[in-house]
Amino acid sequence: MQSLWMVLASLLFASMGVCVKLASDALPASEIAFYRGFIALLLVAVVMRLRGADFATPHAGVHLKRGVSGAVSLILYFEAISLLPLPTAVTLNYTSPLFMAAWLGFTASGELSRPLMLALVIGFAGVVLVLQPTLGSDQWVGGLFGLGSGLIATIAYLSVRDLGRLGEPEWRIVLYFSACSAVLGALWALADGGFHFHSARTWALLGGVGVFGTAAQLCMTAAYKGGRTLVSASLAYTTVAFSTLYGILLWQEVPSAVVWLGMLLIVASGLLALLRPPPVKS
């Protein structure tokens, strides 16, 4: 069942990315991130209230770690989407399983196994192929945002796993993440020139960002909460496929042969790293 939750989350995340891409024509990424968190916070809080769920948590520190890392990763991801073709931004963001595998490898055994080292080399080659032919000098900032979001997302994903093991319900996990996203997004937006007037179309897109993002977070949290962290992370790569399809259909962003190769290398390296998990300390 966790596998189905992750595939559904991937489709919803890709749909959210479309709304972010369209909204970025009128708004900075920081403001979009604020509305993403604020709308999700309202939706989740209302549902929890109706269900009589408990808002209090005995694990505030872990929630804060997950919320802050997830919010920073989200803002960087939205910045990348605003600057790059959607498939490129999503692919760079989904280098997170590589960083996750490397982290687990170091913390579990103190060293990287040969399969993990090979995966990292393949993944790095894929990143070079994705970036070099498609990004001009003015777009490298977007590329760094994408990679940064993937790196920081590793902390968030591992925190979700830890919260699941602590018995925290997914609604509460998403609630505190949304609160952190709203606060950090608002601060970032204020530092980036403040808030802007929105047209009806922009409001609709922001609503799509919030609804799709909230539903995706709940599905993703349900998947990671099942405990099969590496399997869930590998299935998250279907977001790349969904986003590429969206890019072709909506913006005619057909990747070149070299970019296709780079994307395939990144996906293959992530799968290799995730399907060959490091040993766990006893």
Q: Is the pLDDT reported for residue 145 higher than 70?
A: yes
Query: How far is the C-alpha of 210 from the C-alpha of 215, rounded, in Å?
Result: 9
Which carries the bigger pLDDT value, residue 110 or residue 154?
A: 154
Helices 2-23 & 86-93 angle (0-180, nearest 10): 130
The single-letter DSSP state of residue 141 is: H
**pLDDT value at residue 194:** 81
**pLDDT value at residue 78:** 93
The rounded mean pLDDT for the chain is 82
Question: Which amino acid, one-letter code, is at 219?
Answer: C
**pLDDT value at residue 211:** 93
**pLDDT value at residue 167:** 87
Q: Is the pLDDT reported for residue 282 higher than 50?
A: no
Which carries the bigger pLDDT value, residue 114 or residue 23?
A: 23
Q: How many CB atoms lie within 10 A of CB 83?
A: 21
Q: Is the dihedral of CA 4, 217, 260, 255 positive or negative?
A: positive
Which carries the bigger pLDDT value, residue 20 or residue 136?
A: 20
Which carries the bigger pLDDT value, residue 109 or residue 188?
A: 188
Mean pLDDT over 63-85 rounds to: 92
Are 218 and 6 within 8 A, CB to CB?
no
The label of the residue with tokens 């977007």 reads 142
What is the 3-class SS of 4-48, one letter each residue? HHHHHHHHHHHHHHHHHHHHCCCCCHHHHHHHHHHHHHHHHHHHH
Contacts of 57 (CB under 8 A, 6+ apart): 63, 168, 172, 176
Read off the pLDDT of residues 169-205 as tens digits, 9 standing for 90 and up.
888 988 999 999 999 999 988 988 888 878 999 999 9
Contacts of 218 (CB under 8 A, 6+ apart): 170, 171, 174
The label of the residue with tokens 């708004």 reads 27
